[in-house]
Structure 1
Amino acid sequence: MIARTPEPPYYAVIFTSERTDVDNGYGETAERMVELASQQSGFLGVESARNEIGITVSYWSDLEAIANWRKDAEHTLAREKGRADWYRVFKVRIAKVERDYDFKK
């Protein structure tokens, strides 16, 4: 599902990853992180696709909201588990969205 975002500017956190073969609760934790993030002040939405590489884009009102999400204790534990078990490699990019547009049939 495509996230509904407000008029720009806002921020996007782009998390791109390649998984290991270890599952060990990955799906449940990923769902919990979306649930938890959606409760954070400044959270605007999320989009995710997982195949050979996983790409999750979360949208935030400002850099402070992103920093607060990074400090969340449960999110910190999930990041540690990701480094230890789930990800072979990942990259995080933070970008300011200055323009967006859409198309609907």
Structure 2
Amino acid sequence: MVQKMETLAKQQKGFLSMESARNDIGITISYWESLEAIQSWKQHSEHLLAQQKGKNQWYNWYHVRICKVEREYHFQLT
């Protein structure tokens, strides 16, 4: 389902990128151009079905955080 939602999200207006990590817990971060684009994605019919399936079958809890990225930088030891 993660791959299906990622493919679908990439087709949505306002989608910028997505990052995901899956081990003991699953974390997915998606980046969007605007709050309107986020709301549109949240209300997409296939995404709504995936959300419901997650609540009924996969997750005991989840946490959503909507943030504005003001700055980003990286460090990498070579």
Give the fraction of aligned pairs with identical amino acids, expressed as a percent: 55
Structure 2 partner of 1:79: 51
Tell me, what secondary structure is at the counterpart of 1:89?
A: coil
The equivalent position to 2:31 in structure 1, one of 59, 69, 72, is 59
Higher relative contact order (CA 8 A, sep 6+): 1
Q: Does the residue aligned with 1:93 lie in a helix, a strand or coil?
A: coil
The alignment of Structure 1 onto Structure 2 pairs a total of residues equal to 77
1:34 corresponds to 2:6: yes
Q: Which has the higher helix share?
A: 2
Q: Which runs of 4+ in 1 moved over 6 A?
A: none
Deviation at 1:84, TM superposition (A): 0.2
Which of the pair is proportionally richer in strand? 1
TM-score, scaled to structure 2: 0.93
TM-score normalised by the chain length of structure 1 = 0.70
Output the aligned Cα RMSD.
1.1
